[in-house]
Structure 1
Amino acid sequence: MHSRIYAIIRKETREIIRDPVYLGLAFAVPVLLMLLLGYGLSMDVKNIPVLFYDLDRSAGSREYMHSFTNSEYFRFAGLAGDYKEVEHAIRSGNIRVVIVIPPDFSRRLNKGRPAQVQFLLDGSFPMRAEIVKGYVSAINTQFNMRMVSQYLSLKGQSGNVVFPVSVEGRTWYNPSLESKNFIIPGLLVITLMFYPALLAALVVVREKESGTIFNLYCSPVSTPAIVFGKAVPYICLAFIDYLVIFFMSVFLFHVRFTGSFLLLSAGALLYIACTIGLGILISVISRTQIAAMLITFLGTMIPSFLFSGFMASITSQEITGQIISRFIPATYFMGMVRGIYLKGLGFNYYLWDLATLGLYASIIYSIAILSFRKRIG
């Protein structure tokens, strides 16, 4: 049994090495995916172009505008001459936020009366609009505190504003709140879900199209030996991809890694076994390479993006989405990766996830073996 598995492994390894283009793509595509998505996918909202419609045109209104443009979040994009220019700027998509300062802004503040400032947001990107809204409110609050302090000083009172309740926030695990510390570990999971499965999905299909699959059908090698023999080289190949992606995340993207590399690698090995098994199952049931690629994309990439907790917490999804997420191996590895990277959590936190990945791999390979036997029959 072992000698036959080893023979299949050697045969499959020779097939991989024999095609340098295929071998090169096996390493180049995951790296390219990480570079494109790593640099292109960001949730950080900074350097937002802001247009001001200043109807007051006073020193006070200019000070208010400077409180925004002096922050790292907003970039001065000009002064609007009329309301039509404001509408055109937001419609064009060049401006995300417009701040309208009323004509009596300074006069009301100098009299100690409140002034009503309006800000207009482009809501076509709801998540970004909510973040920008929070930035505007925070900067406006800082300006208010500064104005109250100045007003009290002019009245001969202490300029220190003391509120009944003060809140001091402290962010754990990602103090700088950089989205790369959240996105890059997630991309490792997504990449290892899609591309290794795609490579494995083409294994049996190529032999079907070339006709060499009949040599396996007629050979005395058992079905489990064929399936495992074909899986092992691709598991090794995908594990090398994992190592490359991991070192890219730490040394190229500078993501904080505080946990155990051995624990992460153990989880990655089980996860890769799941994705390769899924690819082989797809390969067994598909008749053409195009069909195998399409099924792999629809069955791995899209569910991983939507239901694994990559972009949003699973608990925030609808109940249907939460149920679907439990059948996706990326869900379990996603939690492991982020917990190990950022929190440094140990083995006792992920015993259930490791066991689930192992069970998932066992089920997938069992189905692949049964499906392969049915095809032979």
Structure 2
Amino acid sequence: MKHNSLVLGCLVSIIFHVLQTGKGDQTMEESQPKKHISTDQILMFSGYFLLAMAVLLGICLWLWRNGRKNQPAESRDVNKKVAAVEDSDDFTDNPMSASTDFIKTSKNMPETSSEFSSEMAAPPSHALVVLTSPEVNGLKFEDLLNSPAELIGRGKGGSSYKVMCENPRMILAVKRIKDWEISSRDFKTRMQRLDQAKHRSVLSAMAFYSSSQEKLLVFEYQNNGSLLRRLQGTRTGEAFEWISRLNTAATIAESMAFMHGELKNDAGTGIIPHGNLKSSNILLTQTMEPRISEYGLKPAAEAATADFTQDVYALGVILLELLTGKLVADEMDVASWVVSVLREEWTVEVFDRALIREGANEERMVNLLQVAVSCVNRSPPARPAINQVAVMINGIREEEERSMDVSRVSVISSR
């Protein structure tokens, strides 16, 4: 503003000087005997006037343009249809590329009416590779670009969006992966390999898109949030009973054991671990059944040293979260905390108070705790294989189910 005022003052001074010059000429002539105003004088005064008006108009135009340039971005975008999403450095961070991008409306429009837009020319018809999923047959790249979308997650691996697709009419989840230095051919091979290793409790991609700038993956949208969110809800009194937690643990272990068995050796891809297993990546279906998401989608730079033992450790942490109610999302090293408590032989102290109040069987909780602690052993070779973990958890679940059956029989007999 100071700069604008200074420039305006200078320009006004110039106009004043021009007018004064004209006035000075007029004064000199008035000191002489009065004569009729000549044609030359009329033209001179008209020239001064037009020059002053032109300079004044130039000042107004310059100030208007400079004011728009310094206007806040959100104000400038009010009349635009959309404005680009600014990504932070956490679930998600990623500068969206100029070729393909989810963008949301300006602040005067609801975020839920975001769109997935593109500045690139019409993509080829084969740009979106649809895998063996009859639900999305006929889905085209343009359908995603033109569908309303909502940003639902952002992290180091990329951003996730809820997309309301019209053709076919369904709700999809789309993940954009950043900084994955993998060729389109290798990425396609990897996605097809993952698609072959299907398990009902592992959320597999329905379609994908790959270019040198970005990777997009299309999934079925799960509308009940994540396991992490459900565990957080227990702090405000939401129910998450022991048997439901035990079933969740068994399902995750069984699913991971299946995937490890299918992806342990392949000439084209090598082993493919999950690489990023955590409670926020365990999504819940409409019936609250767990679905493992983002299997094998860890960017290559971060997954170079990943192996199956890291998945076992990650599963152990999830088991500890289920048992204790303590969450890694709270920036807590749950494994270290549990081990330190167990060293003091305060075993019961580690369990979630909600489970204690429910009257969950302490013996079976301790058995599951022992499985979890073996998974988070600091020495990777000392950790059990994932299929062994699945067998142990299933054994605990079977004991729980037998106990429940006996209880039902006892209740019926007492009637």
Larger RCO, structures 1/2 (Cα 8 Å, 6+ apart):
1
TM-score scaled by length of structure 2:
0.22
TM-score scaled by length of structure 1:
0.23
Largest Rg, 1 or 2: 2
Q: Which of the pair is proportionally richer in helix?
A: 1
